[in-house]
Structure 1
Amino acid sequence: MRRVGEPPIPGKTYTSRPGAYAILPLKGRFLMTAQLRPHVDIQLPGGGIDPGESPLQTLHREVMEEIGWTIARPRRLGAFRRHVYMPEYDIWAEKICHVYVAHPVRHIAPPIEPDHATVVLSGEEAVSVLGNDGDRHFLERFLAARS
């Protein structure tokens, strides 16, 4: 599996943290989430897979929590891994990120995830501001396949 970002730090223990994330095209633009703390970080909506949850269940739950939308027809595009410190959990994690494309169906509510806001960006804008190389790689690949 492709690794993006910084390599693991020798001697550091990393907790495996699988997650599911979505590229959400909407009328020529893309729904993203902005995590506002500890600094603004634009991301594909998604997050960690809870025990007993499938990646698709996670995808639906996390998109609803982070941007307040329901989605349909998710299709897996691939996965990447990255090694990061997660201050909200105070852990060093090996994030295993499963990336999907899905169709936004309906906006139900504002984000319920603390310190998150919905952002709608063009493909070019999203690629330029996404906070990690893995998200950027999959969005660039998705955009290239559409042209």
Structure 2
Amino acid sequence: MIRFGENIKSNIKYKRRVGVYGLLVYGNKLILTEQETIDRNLEIHLPGGGVDKGEHYIHALHREVMEETGWHIRVLKKEGVFQRFTFMPEYNLWAHKICHIYRCKPIYKKSLILEEGHRYIFLNYATAIERLEDPGFKHFVKTLKNQFDRRSSSSRLGQLSAGNP
């Protein structure tokens, strides 16, 4: 499994945390979350979070996206998984995060944001890549952007070859 972020510290005991995160594609933008940290900074993240014991990953993704954005989604496909070893100050623990990434289609805004300190934002791919702090999240957004760029380029070439300006 691909690993991003800090090297493993041999003197630290990490708690394994499985999470699910969504690439919420809305036209040529992504819906992301802006979250207030414990030291009052703002960070940009993919919507998602931890899977509760006994919970199915897709159910957890729907729940987390709803809590953090208020959006109802349709899960389209799993894009991949990565691991990261990091300190999580909001839980005061060192975590071995296993992050499952899914491409999703936001269907409609269903409720208010339920999780305090969160709000959703729309960012284009380039700005999302620039502002996301998690290197694993950046990787999957870059991959999605490359796929989007190739499709756009192919579509444009098809229009030109058909004689459309």
Same fold (TM over 0.5): yes
Deviation at 1:27, TM superposition (A): 2.0
Match of 2:67 in 1: 65
Superposition RMSD in Å? 0.9
Deviation at 1:59, TM superposition (A): 0.5
Residues 75 and 102 of structure 2 are in contact (CA less than 8 Å); yes or no, is this contact kept in structure 1? no
Q: Counterparts of 1:137 and 1:73 in 2: how far apart (Å)?
A: 19
| Mapped pair 1:8 → 2:8 | yes
Residues 2 and 81 of structure 2 are in contact (CA less than 8 Å); yes or no, is this contact kept in structure 1? yes
Q: Counterparts of 2:47 and 2:73 in 1: how far apart (Å)?
A: 11
Long gaps (5+) in structure 1: none
| Mapped pair 1:56 → 2:82 | no
Residues 84 and 96 of structure 2 are in contact (CA less than 8 Å); yes or no, is this contact kept in structure 1? yes
Deviation at 1:139, TM superposition (A): 0.6
Q: Counterparts of 1:73 and 1:132 in 2: how far apart (Å)?
A: 22
Identity of aligned residues (%): 37
TM-score of the pair, normalised by structure 2? 0.86
Deviation at 1:73, TM superposition (A): 3.2
Q: Which has the larger radius of gyration?
A: 2
TM-score of the pair, normalised by structure 1? 0.96
Residues 21 and 100 of structure 2 are in contact (CA less than 8 Å); yes or no, is this contact kept in structure 1? yes
How many residues are treated as equivalent by the alignment?
147
Q: What do residues 66-106 of structure 1 show as CA deviations (whole Å, max 9, x unaligned)?
A: 01100013310001111111122111100000000010001
Match of 1:78 in 2: 80
Q: Counterparts of 1:12 and 1:96 in 2: how far apart (Å)?
A: 17
Q: Counterparts of 1:26 and 1:144 in 2: how far apart (Å)?
A: 16
SS at match of 2:37: coil
Long gaps (5+) in structure 2: 150-165
